[in-house]
Structure 1
Amino acid sequence: MTQDRPFLVRHADLIFALKTFGAAMLALVIALWLNLPRPYWAMASVYITSQPLAGATSSKAVYRLIGTFVGAAVSVLMVPNLVNAPELLCLAVAAWVSLCLYFSLMDGTPRSYAFMLSGYTVAIIGFPAVSDPGNIFDAAAARVQEISLGIICASLISSTFFPRGIGAAASERLGYWLATARELSREALAGAGTSREQRLQQLLREAVELETLQVHLAYDRLTDVNTAQALRMLRPHMLLLPAILASINDRITALGPRLRTDYPGLARLFDEISAWIVDDRGAPQAARELQEKIEAQRPRLGTGSGWDQILITSLLIRLQELVDLLQDCRALGPAVAQGTNPSRVGLQFNPESGVAETRYRDRTLAMWSAAGAAAAILLCCAFWIGTGWPDGASAPMMAAVGSSIFASQDDPTVGIRRFGVWAAVAIIIVAVYLFALLPPISTLEALIAVLAPAFILFGYLMARPATTSIGTSLGVNAATLMALQSAYAADFVAFANSSIAFIIGIVAAIVVTRTARSVGAEWIAHRVLRAGWVSLAVAAEHRGRRDRASFLGAMLGRLDQLVQRLAAIPEIARRDVDNLSQLRVGLNIIDLRRARHHLSPTSLHAIDRMLDRLATAFRSHSEGPMPRSLLSDIDAALAATVDDPGAAANEDALLGLVGIRRGLFPDSPAYGTHSSLSGQRVA
């Protein structure tokens, strides 16, 4: 099968490695020609900036340039004024790095790289300049020039030679996502979806990853504007589909095996929808006919409606949403793949106000991470100043870099340790180059030929997701530690000192981070779950109508964080994640709040009382089953709403209450005394 793929796709990793090495050599040659003081910074910058996708490379290049410029400017302002008070200088640099790291973690988008780089660039420029503060401006200017040169070369080569656009990658991922969505939809309709919770979570995870990829589209000149617009239009559909499938799974499970035997009309409808899902022709007329058939099956709710009748109505409404969602995804697919105009596509599903781009932010964890970075820097500075070590500046510099780069991980010490191990490997490789391979080299061509095997390998490792961090650590550290200049000037003592300081800085970052911020995935998962319950409490307390988009964005952001940590969540709390129950309950609460404005005072009082009880329970809840007393409050609201035949929003309110009841108490007995349909039967 791999032979059917285009040559450039099959060998994309090797092509990326060759392009990255070519860009690095171009940056090095130009820096040497311009006689820049540290040409190796330009070379290292290529390995930091380069990404397999051209748009991602350009995006990171822009943020890296901004961060470098800001960090250089702060270094020029800070070092000359505090160089005579080393303790204050160290404190100021540590405070700046921690502040920038805090804002980086709170931002949570690719833009956060600019904040983080603004922080540790001051450490990279400022600490080595302490011994020669008069040249701080020249050092900062050189840093900006050399980083800019590396960025330009990386972006130029990436977008000129065999570029890989984000649009093509997004189209490939979307195709896989649609295939998975269709498969899960058919399994749900066949009654096999109850054991597919983890796959629904993965479906959501893939949608969020595709959304992250969209951030770089603004920097991708290879992607058609129609593709970018189509992906934005698909965003709410892709994020909502897993929750709707989970609701369909839940309703079918609640009705049980008798659903197909007692209601043959529904069984035939399920089969027709399944056949339509498989049909790739995607004619809009077929979707409209299905909607008419679904509508014809819907019972009319009113006084005396039984639990089955309410459940079936809820199920059919979710089926209508499923058909609309899949039809829209099918219609927008060609716009993503071929760049056709998506504005001509008439969307069937109305996501109301959409999904706000709200990300989960843990301020406490960000503050701990920032404090840990500051502590690691100050510890290395104390060792440096106390020992009077001439080459000790590398220690706090690397402490700043290590503490910042991996701060977003659950346990940053794992990433820092891995970075340190491969940095040590890079030191060994650099030692072989500096003292065995490079001394005989006398021409630039020979230098490039000698560097090629190692640095092409580093680029190849960078291109593969499983080894990206290894390749980046080797490439960046090898280029930096090799410190290539226009003339060979390697000194073993200086190299050994800087290497030891390098490792000490990483070890300090590990020790301090383990003490201050090594909390692990389970602890973070608990915090995310807790924040989700608080959001549900806020949703239950508010009586407004226009916060659905922001709530959905926030809940999806938290759910994404939980999906990444499922293995670390205790079994007692995992149900809240596997069934997407928090998301479903929250959306039903908001829909219920919207419907409550048109209910009679009796129904309104019962629903408001239930919402207040829910809010109180949610604020004190973290994991495990909800208090059973809430079930009585929900059933009381259901009873009042069922007996309210004059309310225009009666049906919407009932559906919201059903969603809340099933989301919080999926294993509870059926509501009321009716265990089967009262009145009409769906046949």
Structure 2
Amino acid sequence: MQILKQLVAFRPSKLDWIFAIKTYIAAMSALFISFSLDLLNPIWSIGTVMIIANPYAGMLSSKALYRLAGTAVGAVVAVAIMPHLINTPWLFASVIAGWVGFCLYVSLLDRTPRSYMLMLSGYTVAMIVFNAINSIDTHSIFDIALARFLEIGIAVICSAVVSAVILPVHIGPIIQQRVEGNLSSLDALFKKVFTFDLKPQDYSQEVATITREMSEIHSMAVHLWFENSDLKGMTKPIQEMLHQLAMAVTNLVAMSERLKQLQPQKNAEFDAILVQLSDDVLGFLHQNKTLEETELEALSDHFSVIFTQLRQHVGQDDLTVFNSLQMDLRHYIHNVRIVHFIWQSIQQGRKDFPENIVPLTTHYPSLHRDHGVAVRGGLAALCSTFFAVAVWILTGWKAGFMMAQMAAVCSCILTAIDNPIPALKIFFWGSVTSFCIVFVYAFAIFPNISQFWQLALVLAPAVISFTLLISRPNLMALGLVLGVVSIMSMNLQNRYAMDAVSFLDADFAMVLGVLCALVSIYFIRAMSPEQTATRILQRHYRAMQKMVYMSYGTAFRVRLRSMIDRIGVLNSKLVQSKDIKQAMQHALIETSATVDLSRLHELASSQLISPPLQQALLRLQGVCVALFQALEKHGQVTAEMQTQLFIVLQDIREALICEENSNIKQRVCMSLNNIENSIFKQMGIREHVEQVA
């Protein structure tokens, strides 16, 4: 019903029409070339054009390249294994299903566009070998594998050329717009934090939007390698800028927590100075001049004057919190200036970084990866494919190869979704609609076609209509289903022939293949948003355990960037549970205090502090690890552990009284305050500690 409402309300724009017509031109070009070369399955060419269709030239080119690479890998594997397994059907079924599942598992761990290549290399093997068995009397496995590679290659070239030559649309301007929008959102949130003009739920939503946007831009930037926009080749610099931006986000969250501690003063003059401070900071960050490398560390002396004024309104008990706020603001300004400098360099066409900016980009992207979800997805694909092949073997059904193909493909393409059942339902009903459309074409239109121009003319309404749907995110799934299934089911050949029995047999097999995938994913892979969010929170607390014993440096900041990315993924989950929502809101606040965990680790390893304080800090580290382990496994901590924490905190405070080094004493107090308010308080521990005290 929702889909029908969206279809009725759909009004294609001028850009949608341009995209649809370009896709149609590429599709007909690929089909014509395949016909001219008399390839085995020309329909794979036009089908591939529909699959990789994208309004943006860079995204289309990258997807096309990865599809071609995945097809090549799949073709080689198919040719290598089929001759040795064809006479052992059950071993054959196990190996093919295992390959599909393994490739899907690896692709789910790689959250970059190249994951498409890994997934495709899995089900390409299934498609080639199943087709080879179906036509074993007429074509060899090598012929079918070579033909598929050629047909995919033709489609890739036609799509890339048409997209790049005819009114190209680049993703570079979109990325630029989203980067500048994200930076503006950060500035707006900074202003609201310092003016207390923000409700807790609004604050969480705005931070969630920023972190989620960072994750999306990180993935989109990969496509810049494949287009000719002003940002061409700027993938790594943009991703590095996002890594540095993650540091600024943690600083902002930390400042927000410190201001919450200072807010109860309700001092109008104090609040007015904070507003002035926020205006001055934003003005300093957005000076209309080109940043130089030597200026990245510079701070305006005016800020020291403002903090001196603020200090006069802060009580003695709040000086530690105030000093933390001042330090966090200094780090925030520094990190934001680094982000602005990198963005300025990108717009000037520079890819290099000065020596005083330590890069956080790793050889392999430091993004969140969930092995558990990947295993379940791979297992679902394995079971679905094996079951379909088993039915084919046991029944000897001629169209069974089509069921096995669809089971392998469908179990792969939607497994990345937490709950793929709604999407698979769209796929199922879209397939049924496609078969009705194909029936009309096959038995009412195609028998009267004798020239290619006639074929191109009658295909125009279907191809253009389906592509128009692909251009809209809310209708993309339906458009892909209608387009790909309809075109592939037409099975266009140079010598076209189709009978009703074979047509209905093949269509029924495709429906059963979709059902195999649906059932397998439902029982093995499908998860509710609550389950997925809980798993990500467990990974969050596992990462927190490791941060306890890490010194502040490049490795620490890389891991912190990974945690921010994980929170961006976490914030995309639409959960209903209030407890999980609260835990999601607290995750970023807890992450902001990992810097203080690192500082305490450095102090605990120092020989400059007194032995009692050192021992107390070491015990605190052990208790923190135990707390995070309990949260990872059970989602809560016991009263006994909270009591242990209270005792350790008391020991640290007693040791601080005797600490002679005032600098170390101040550093410990600041970090301890931040950890208590940003970690223990979020867990509900601080209230218990205060009650015990």
TM-score by length of 1: 0.88
Equivalent AA in structure 2 for residue 657 of structure 1: L
What SS is found at the alignment partner of 1:164?
coil
Q: Quick check: 2:418–2:528 contact (8 Å CA) kept in 1?
A: yes
What SS is found at the alignment partner of 2:450?
coil
Equivalent AA in structure 2 for residue 658 of structure 1: N
Distance (Å, rounded) in 1 between the aligned partners of 2:614 and 2:425: 58
1:181: Cα distance to partner?
1.6
Matched, 1:293 2:308: no
The aligned residue for residue 624 of structure 2 is 614
- Give 1:159-178 correspondences, 5 Å limit: 159-178=164-183
Moved more, 385-394 or 629-638: 629-638
The aligned residue for residue 214 of structure 2 is 207
Q: Quick check: 1:282–1:331 contact (8 Å CA) kept in 2?
A: no
The aligned residue for residue 313 of structure 1 is 323
Q: Quick check: 2:277–2:306 contact (8 Å CA) kept in 1?
A: no
Equivalent AA in structure 2 for residue 189 of structure 1: F
Equivalent AA in structure 2 for residue 406 of structure 1: L
Aligned match for 2:377, one of 369, 381, 402:
369
Relative to 1, partners in 2 of residues 1:229 and 1:84: Cα closer, same or farther, differing over 3 Å?
closer
The aligned residue for residue 47 of structure 1 is 50
The aligned residue for residue 419 of structure 2 is 411
Equivalent AA in structure 2 for residue 44 of structure 1: G
Q: Deviations over 1:378-418 (max 9, x none)?
A: 22122222222111111111111111111111123333222
Distance (Å, rounded) in 2 between the aligned partners of 1:621 and 1:670: 16
Distance (Å, rounded) in 2 between the aligned partners of 1:63 and 1:641: 59
The aligned residue for residue 258 of structure 1 is 265
What SS is found at the alignment partner of 1:127?
helix
The aligned residue for residue 37 of structure 1 is 40
Matched, 1:471 2:479: yes
1:334: Cα distance to partner?
4.8
Q: Deviations over 1:109-148 (max 9, x none)?
A: 2111111111111111111222444611111110111011
Aligned match for 1:494, one of 502, 509, 531:
502
Relative to 1, partners in 2 of residues 1:478 and 1:271: Cα closer, same or farther, differing over 3 Å?
same
1:493: Cα distance to partner?
1.4
Matched, 1:142 2:136: no
Q: Quick check: 1:298–1:312 contact (8 Å CA) kept in 2?
A: no
Matched, 1:100 2:109: no
1:205: Cα distance to partner?
0.5
Moved more, 92-101 or 471-480: 471-480
Moved more, 104-113 or 26-35: 104-113
What SS is found at the alignment partner of 1:256?
helix
Distance (Å, rounded) in 1 between the aligned partners of 2:84 and 2:349: 58
The aligned residue for residue 665 of structure 1 is 680
Q: Deviations over 1:462-486 (max 9, x none)?
A: 1222222222222221221111112
Matched, 1:281 2:288: yes
Q: Quick check: 1:260–1:267 contact (8 Å CA) kept in 2?
A: no
What SS is found at the alignment partner of 1:371?
helix
Q: Quick check: 1:360–1:557 contact (8 Å CA) kept in 2?
A: yes
Moved more, 256-265 or 10-19: 256-265
Q: Quick check: 1:97–1:374 contact (8 Å CA) kept in 2?
A: yes
The aligned residue for residue 334 of structure 2 is 324
Relative to 1, partners in 2 of residues 1:613 and 1:345: Cα closer, same or farther, differing over 3 Å?
closer
Q: Deviations over 1:329-385 (max 9, x none)?
A: 44554555x4443658898xx667568832222223222221221111122122222
1:606: Cα distance to partner?
1.8
The aligned residue for residue 567 of structure 2 is 559
Q: Deviations over 1:214-245 (max 9, x none)?
A: 12222334344574464244222332333222
Relative to 1, partners in 2 of residues 1:311 and 1:94: Cα closer, same or farther, differing over 3 Å?
same
Distance (Å, rounded) in 1 between the aligned partners of 2:345 and 2:25: 35
Aligned match for 1:153, one of 140, 158, 162:
158
Distance (Å, rounded) in 2 between the aligned partners of 1:156 and 1:511: 40
Matched, 1:484 2:487: no
Distance (Å, rounded) in 1 between the aligned partners of 2:305 and 2:687: 29
Matched, 1:656 2:671: yes
- Give 1:54-453 correspondences, 5 Å limit: 54-133=57-136, 135-195=140-200, 196-224=203-231, 227-228=234-235, 230-258=237-265, 260-261=267-268, 263=270, 266-267=273-274, 269-273=276-280, 276=283, 281=288, 291-296=300-305, 306-336=316-346, 338-341=347-350, 353=360, 357-453=365-461
1:13: Cα distance to partner?
2.3
Aligned match for 2:575, one of 568, 572, 577:
568
Relative to 1, partners in 2 of residues 1:557 and 1:429: Cα closer, same or farther, differing over 3 Å?
same
Moved more, 108-117 or 257-266: 257-266
The aligned residue for residue 455 of structure 1 is 463
Q: Gaps spanning 5+ residues in structure 1: where?
A: 1-8, 673-683
The aligned residue for residue 675 of structure 1 is none
Distance (Å, rounded) in 2 between the aligned partners of 1:85 and 1:346: 61
1:106: Cα distance to partner?
2.0
Relative to 1, partners in 2 of residues 1:194 and 1:237: Cα closer, same or farther, differing over 3 Å?
farther
Distance (Å, rounded) in 2 between the aligned partners of 1:523 and 1:646: 48
1:262: Cα distance to partner?
6.7
Matched, 1:605 2:612: no
Distance (Å, rounded) in 1 between the aligned partners of 2:121 and 2:450: 38
Relative to 1, partners in 2 of residues 1:638 and 1:136: Cα closer, same or farther, differing over 3 Å?
farther
Relative to 1, partners in 2 of residues 1:266 and 1:18: Cα closer, same or farther, differing over 3 Å?
same
Distance (Å, rounded) in 2 between the aligned partners of 1:335 and 1:260: 42
What SS is found at the alignment partner of 1:29?
helix
Q: Quick check: 1:182–1:277 contact (8 Å CA) kept in 2?
A: no
Distance (Å, rounded) in 1 between the aligned partners of 2:537 and 2:396: 49
> Alignment RMSD, CA only?
3.2
1:328: Cα distance to partner?
4.1
Relative to 1, partners in 2 of residues 1:138 and 1:225: Cα closer, same or farther, differing over 3 Å?
closer
1:581: Cα distance to partner?
2.6
Distance (Å, rounded) in 1 between the aligned partners of 2:199 and 2:299: 24
1:437: Cα distance to partner?
2.3
Q: State the identity %.
A: 27
What SS is found at the alignment partner of 1:621?
helix
What SS is found at the alignment partner of 2:678?
helix
Relative to 1, partners in 2 of residues 1:470 and 1:632: Cα closer, same or farther, differing over 3 Å?
farther
Equivalent AA in structure 2 for residue 341 of structure 1: R
Aligned length: 658
What SS is found at the alignment partner of 2:448?
coil
Moved more, 487-496 or 197-206: 487-496
Equivalent AA in structure 2 for residue 72 of structure 1: A
Distance (Å, rounded) in 2 between the aligned partners of 1:10 and 1:311: 54
The aligned residue for residue 7 of structure 2 is none
Distance (Å, rounded) in 1 between the aligned partners of 2:33 and 2:359: 54
Relative to 1, partners in 2 of residues 1:43 and 1:178: Cα closer, same or farther, differing over 3 Å?
same
Q: Deviations over 1:7-44 (max 9, x none)?
A: xx963222221111111111001111111111110111
Relative to 1, partners in 2 of residues 1:539 and 1:179: Cα closer, same or farther, differing over 3 Å?
closer
Relative to 1, partners in 2 of residues 1:216 and 1:289: Cα closer, same or farther, differing over 3 Å?
closer
Distance (Å, rounded) in 1 between the aligned partners of 2:59 and 2:343: 22
The aligned residue for residue 15 of structure 1 is 18
Distance (Å, rounded) in 1 between the aligned partners of 2:186 and 2:49: 38
Relative to 1, partners in 2 of residues 1:90 and 1:670: Cα closer, same or farther, differing over 3 Å?
closer
Distance (Å, rounded) in 1 between the aligned partners of 2:186 and 2:399: 57
Equivalent AA in structure 1 for residue 597 of structure 2: I
1:94: Cα distance to partner?
0.7
Relative to 1, partners in 2 of residues 1:438 and 1:651: Cα closer, same or farther, differing over 3 Å?
farther
Relative to 1, partners in 2 of residues 1:219 and 1:603: Cα closer, same or farther, differing over 3 Å?
farther
